[in-house]
C-alpha cells in the first residue's frame, strides 16, 4: 500500500482535508520514541486502489525548533524511515501564498513526488482574486489541485490526481541551488547515500538534532570547517523568498484587498483589545463551562442511570455473594467510571475545534503567551489550564496542541492543581464545617469567599510549581512560539464531530483500561475481608437484628462501616495512620483518603460509611455529625487542594506522556506537597 504524507503549515486546512479524504477511517497513535500525535487513515480512489494517508504535524519549514517539527524533519530527510512517503500532498492556504510556498519550495527541492493542493479557493473566489494555476504547476513541476476542504469541493478531483499521478522524469530547476549558494563538503555520499543534495544540506545544518545517522560523529567531524548552519539558513531563507516573491507577481492576477482581511482587522480591534479582549475571553470560557456542566450533565446522568440499571439487572439475575458484588460494584462500576467522563471530553474537544476553526483560539494563545512564557509555557497552554477547572482529564488531553515537549509537560504537570468539579463535594462539606453561613458587609457570603480562596490557592501554587519545573528542564529545547493569526472563518461542524469521536475513542481505549483495572483493585481492597473477621461481624449483626435494638438502616450502615474497617483497605488505613497522624488524621480518614483515589468525591460517601451516619451518605448536613476538630477539618481541606487523588488523571497523564515516569513524579510530588501543606496548616491552626 502506497504511503501519502499530508504536509503543510499550521492553519492551512490540513485537518479538514485529512477528514474529507479518510472520513472516520482513522487511527491515532504516537510516532516511535516521541509523544507526538500520529494520525493516519486510509482512503480509496474510484479505481479501487487504497492509500495510507499520514498527517504530519504542521510546520513552517524543515528547520526543526520543536518536537513536532523534528518529527517532520526525521521523516522527510530520511528515505529509510518507515513513514517516508511515496507521495506528498502539499496543502497550501491559497489566501497566504507567500508564507505557504516557502515550505512548498523546500519539499520540491527534496525531490519527493508532490501534488500541490490549493486549499480555500472559495475564499479567493469570494474576494475576486485569481491565481494562474498553470504557471504555478509549471514552476513546481507537479499537478495543482484547487480544493475547499471545508466544503468538500475538489476532493474527488484530488483522488483522481492521486490515482493517475506519475512523477516527472525531466531534470528540475531547484528553488535553492545548494551547490552554488552553500557548497557541500566532499564525501557526504558515504554518510548519506540515499539522500539528494538538498536533504544532505538540511541534515548538515541540523546535525545537532539528528540522531538517526549511524556515523553521526564522523559526519560532524567532516563539517568542522564549514560555515555555521545558522548563516547558511539565512542564505536559504533570502534566496527562497526572492524566488517566491517573483513567482507570486506572475501567478496572482488580482491584488484587490481582501474583504475577509478587512473584516478580520475590525473584529481583532475588539477581540485582541487589552480590556475588551479580556471580556470576550471570559465570556467565551463562561459559555464553554456552561456547556460542559449543563449539556454534559444530561448524557452523564443517562450513562450513570444506564450503568445503575445494568448493575441492578445483573445483581437481581445472579445469586448474592462476592462474585455478584464484584460484577456490580467492581467491573460495571469501573466501566461506568470511564464512560461517564465521555460527554465532558467530547464536548470540550468539539468546542476547542470550533474555536480553532474560527481563528479565535490563535488570538487567545497570542494574548496569553507573554505571561505564560515566564512560567515555561506558551499561549496554547491557556486552554488546558482553564479547562482544568472543569475536569483535568479532557484538559490534559487538550495539551496535545502544544508543539514543544517541555511546554507541554509543564502544562500537563500543573493542570491537576486547578480545582476541578470533582473537588467540589469535598470543598462543600469541609467549608460548611469550617466557615459559618454568614455574609460580610451584608452581601459577601463567607463560605463563598473561602471556596474562592481554595481555587486561588491551587492556581497560585500551580504557577510556582511551573517555575520550579521550568528551572529543572531549562536545558531542554525552548519552544519557538510562531503563531499565525488566520482570518476568521465559519467553523466546520464535521471537524468538530471528528475531533469529538477521535478524542473520545482515544480516552476509552488508552486511559479507560487503566481506570477500570484501578477501580477493580480498589473494590477488592474495600470489599474483601479476612474470613475470620467477616464471620465475626456477620454473627454480631445477625444477633443485633434479632434483638431489634437498632433501625434496619442504621444497622446496615454500622455493619458496612465495620466491614470496611476490617477490609484490606481498612488495613491500609490503619497501616498509614502513624504517617498521617501529624496531620491530625486517624485511620478512618486514612481509609477515606485511600478510597478517594478512585475519585476525589468518593471521600464524602466513604466518610459517611465509616462513621455510619444515619442521614443520606452524600448529604453534607448529615456528615456534619462527624466530630472533626477545627484544625483537622482545615488540614483536610488544604490536603485536597493539592493531592492528586484521582486515578483517572494518573491514567491520562501516563497516556499523554508515553510512560509512567511523569505520572509517578507528579503523584509523589503532589502527595508530598499536600502532606506538608496540610501539616503546616494543622500545626498553625491547632
Let me know whether 186 and 110 are in one domain.
Answer: no
In angstroms, rounded to a whole number, what is the distance separating the alpha carbons of residues 341 and 391? Answer: 9
Of 411, 431, 448, the position where a domain reaches its end is 411
Tell me: do 276 and 304 sit in the same domain: no
- The pLDDT of residue 88 is 94
What residues make up the domain containing 247? 178-251
Which cell is 277 given? 479582549
Could you tell me if residue 215 is inside a domain? yes
Q: What is the pLDDT of residues 8-32, one digit of tens each?
A: 988 788 888 998 888 866 666 666 5
What global pTM score does this model have?
0.58
Let me know whether 562 and 658 are in one domain: yes
Q: How far apart are CA 70 and CA 61, in angstroms?
A: 10
Is position 424 within any domain?
no
Say what the pLDDT of residue 261 is. 54
CA-to-CA distance for 286 and 259, rounded, in angstroms? 31
Same domain, 361 and 272: yes
Q: Are residues 82 and 136 in the same domain?
A: yes
Question: Which residue, of 383, 411, 439, is where some domain finishes?
Answer: 411
Asked whether residue 493 is domain-assigned, the answer is no
Q: Is the domain of 369 the same as that of 221? A: no
Give tens-digit pLDDT for 589-622.
Answer: 888 788 778 767 667 666 655 654 444 444 443 3
In this prediction, residue 615 carries a pLDDT of 42
Tell me which residue of 462, 15, 487 sits closest to 268, measured CA to CA: 487
Task: State which residues of the chain have pLDDT below 50.
Answer: 257-258, 477-480, 612-624
* Spatial distance between the Cα atoms of 5 and 84, rounded to a whole number of angstroms: 8
Side-chain half-sphere exposure of 141, counting CA atoms within 13 A: 16
3-state secondary structure of 43: strand
What angle do helix axes 405-414 and 661-685 make, rounded to 10 degrees?
40
Give the per-residue pLDDT at 612.
Answer: 47
Among 392, 411, 430, residue at a domain's last position: 411
CATH of the domain at 123: 3.40.50.300
Rounded-to-integer distance, Cα 273 and Cα 287, Å:
20
Residues 243 and 159 in one domain: no
Count the helices and strands in the chain (H runs, E runs): 34, 9
Q: Are residues 547 and 681 in the same domain?
A: yes
The residue with cell 527534496 is 110
- Per-residue cell: 648: 483517572
Contacts of residue 461, Cβ cutoff 8 Å, sequence gap at least 6 = 417, 641, 642, 673
Asked if residue 487 belongs to a domain, the reply is no
The answer to whether residues 189 and 221 belong to one domain is yes
Indicate whether 417 belongs to any domain.
Answer: no
Whether residue 535 is found in the same domain as residue 671: yes
* Distance of alpha carbon 158 from alpha carbon 13, whole angstroms: 15
Note whether 278 and 389 are same-domain residues.
yes
Total domains in the chain come to: 5
Do residue 631 and residue 592 come from a single domain? yes
Strand bridging mode 87-93 / 114-119: parallel
In a domain? residue 473? no
Q: Does residue 476 lie in a domain region?
A: no
Amino acid at each position: 500500500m502506497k504511503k501519502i504524507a499530508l504536509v503543510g503549515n499550521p492553519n492551512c486546512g490540513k485537518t479538514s482535508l485529512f477528514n474529507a479524504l479518510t472520513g472516520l477511517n482513522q487511527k491515532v497513535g504516537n510516532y516511535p520514541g516521541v509523544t507526538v500525535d500520529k494520525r493516519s487513515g486510509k482512503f480509496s480512489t474510484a479505481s479501487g486502489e487504497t492509500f495510507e494517508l499520514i498527517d504530519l504535524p504542521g510546520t513552517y519549514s524543515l528547520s526543526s525548533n520543536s518536537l513536532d517539527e523534528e518529527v517532520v524533519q526525521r521523516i522527510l530527510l530520511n528515505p529509510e524511515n518507515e513513514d517516508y512517503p511515496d507521495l506528498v500532498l502539499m496543502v497550501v492556504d491559497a489566501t497566504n501564498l507567500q508564507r505557504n510556498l516557502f515550505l512548498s519550495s523546500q519539499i520540491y527541492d527534496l525531490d519527493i513526488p508532490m501534488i500541490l493542493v490549493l486549499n480555500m479557493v472559495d475564499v479567493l473566489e469570494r474576494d475576486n482574486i485569481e491565481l494562474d494555476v498553470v504557471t504555478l504547476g509549471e514552476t513546481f513541476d507537479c499537478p495543482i489541485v484547487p480544493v475547499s476542504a471545508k466544503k468538500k469541493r475538489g476532493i474527488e478531483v484530488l483522488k483522481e490526481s492521486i490515482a493517475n499521478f506519475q512523477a516527472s522524469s525531466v531534470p528540475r530547476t531547484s528553488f535553492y541551488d545548494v551547490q552554488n549558494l552553500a557548497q557541500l563538503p566532499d564525501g557526504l555520499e558515504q554518510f548519506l547515500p540515499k539522500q539528494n543534495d538538498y536533504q544532505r544540506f538540511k541534515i548538515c545544518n541540523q546535525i545537532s538534532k539528528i540522531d538517526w545517522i549511524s556515523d553521526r560523529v564522523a559526519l560532524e567531524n567532516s563539517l568542522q570547517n564549514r560555515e555555521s548552519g545558522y548563516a547558511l539558513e539565512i542564505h536559504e531563507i533570502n534566496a527562497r523568498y526572492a524566488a517566491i516573491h517573483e513567482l507570486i507577481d506572475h501567478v496572482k492576477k488580482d491584488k484587490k484587498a481582501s474583504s475577509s482581511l478587512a473584516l478580520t482587522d475590525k473584529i481583532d480591534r475588539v477581540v485582541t483589545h487589552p480590556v475588551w479582549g479580556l471580556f470576550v475571553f471570559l465570556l467565551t470560557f463562561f459559555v464553554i463551562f456552561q456547556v460542559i456542566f449543563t449539556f454534559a450533565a444530561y448524557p452523564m446522568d443517562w450513562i450513570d442511570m444506564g450503568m445503575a440499571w445494568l448493575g441492578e439487572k445483573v445483581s437481581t439475575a445472579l445469586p448474592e455473594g462476592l462474585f455478584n458484588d464484584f460484577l456490580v460494584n467492581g467491573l460495571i462500576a469501573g466501566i461506568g467510571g470511564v464512560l461517564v467522563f465521555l460527554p465532558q471530553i467530547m464536548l470540550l474537544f468539539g468546542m476547542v475545534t470550533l474555536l480553532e476553526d474560527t481563528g479565535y483560539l490563535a488570538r487567545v494563545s497570542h494574548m496569553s503567551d507573554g505571561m505564560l512564557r515566564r512560567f515555561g509555557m506558551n499561549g496554547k497552554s491557556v486552554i488546558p489550564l482553564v479547562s482544568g477547572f472543569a475536569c483535568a482529564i479532557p484538559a490534559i488531553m487538550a495539551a496535545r496542541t502544544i508543539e514543544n515537549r517541555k511546554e507541554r509537560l509543564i502544562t500537563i504537570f500543573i493542570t491537576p492543581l486547578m480545582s476541578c468539579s470533582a473537588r467540589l463535594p469535598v470543598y462543600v462539606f469541609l467549608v460548611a464545617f469550617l466557615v459559618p453561613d454568614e455574609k460580610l458587609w451584608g452581601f459577601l457570603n463567607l463560605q463563598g469567599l473561602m471556596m474562592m480562596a481554595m481555587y486561588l490557592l491551587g492556581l497560585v501554587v500551580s504557577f510556582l510549581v511551573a517555575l520550579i519545573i521550568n528551572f529543572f528542564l531549562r536545558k531542554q529545547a525552548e519552544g519557538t512560539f510562531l503563531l499565525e493569526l488566520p482570518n476568521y472563518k465559519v467553523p466546520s461542524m464535521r471537524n468538530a464531530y471528528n475531533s469529538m469521536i477521535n478524542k473520545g475513542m482515544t480516552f476509552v481505549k488508552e486511559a479507560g483500561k487503566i481506570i477500570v483495572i484501578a477501580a477493580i483493585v480498589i473494590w477488592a481492597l474495600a470489599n474483601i475481608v479476612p474470613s475470620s473477621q467477616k464471620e465475626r461481624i456477620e454473627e454480631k449483626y445477625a444477633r443485633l437484628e434479632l434483638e431489634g435494638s437498632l433501625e434496619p438502616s442504621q444497622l446496615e450502615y454500622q455493619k458496612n462501616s465495620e466491614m470496611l474497617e476490617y477490609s484490606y483497605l481498612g488495613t491500609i488505613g490503619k497501616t498509614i495512620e502513624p504517617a498521617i497522624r501529624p496531620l491530625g488524621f486517624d485511620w478512618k480518614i486514612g481509609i477515606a483518603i485511600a478510597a478517594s483515589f478512585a475519585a476525589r468525591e468518593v471521600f464524602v460517601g466513604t466518610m459517611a460509611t465509616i462513621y455510619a451516619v444515619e442521614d443520606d451518605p452524600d448529604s453534607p448536613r448529615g456528615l456534619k455529625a462527624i466530630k472533626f476538630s477545627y484544625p483537622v477539618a482545615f488540614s483536610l481541606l488544604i490536603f485536597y487542594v493539592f493531592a492528586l487523588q484521582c486515578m483517572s488523571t494518573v491514567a491520562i497523564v501516563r497516556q499523554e506522556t508515553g510512560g509512567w515516569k511523569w505520572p509517578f513524579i507528579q503523584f509523589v510530588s503532589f502527595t508530598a506537597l499536600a502532606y506538608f501543606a496540610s501539616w503546616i496548616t494543622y500545626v498553625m491552626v491547632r
